[in-house]
Amino acid sequence: MSEFRQVKELRIPTFASTEHATEWASHLNVEQHTALVKAQLALNDSAVAEPNLQRKVTLATQSQLMREAAEAFALT
């Protein structure tokens, strides 16, 4: 499987906690980390634009957990 295909098939779970996010990110390669960062930025933009408060909070929480996962990867 090519590296591009691995990134294309990256499935980011709905994180339940910081621990879950950081554990999941510990298994990423550089290309997957880049895809995670791009997805986190897109999710953050969606949260900012979301008019429904409950949905905004849910999106922002997942974005934050994804950001923590990306930062944990950078420390490894």
Cα atoms in the Cβ-side hemisphere of radius 13 Å centred on 74: 9
Q: Which residue has the tokens 């294309």?
A: 8
Please give the C-alpha separations between residue 51 and each of 54, 55, 57, 61, 62, in angstroms, as whole numbers: 9, 8, 10, 15, 17
- For residues 28-43, give the mean pLDDT: 95
pTM of the model: 0.83
Listed in sequence order, the residues at least 6 apart from 50 whose beta carbon sits closer than 8 Å to its beta carbon are: 56, 59
Percentage of the residues of the chain whose pLDDT score is greater than 90: 79
2 pLDDT band, cuts 50/70/90, is very low
Q: What is the pLDDT of residue 31?
A: 93
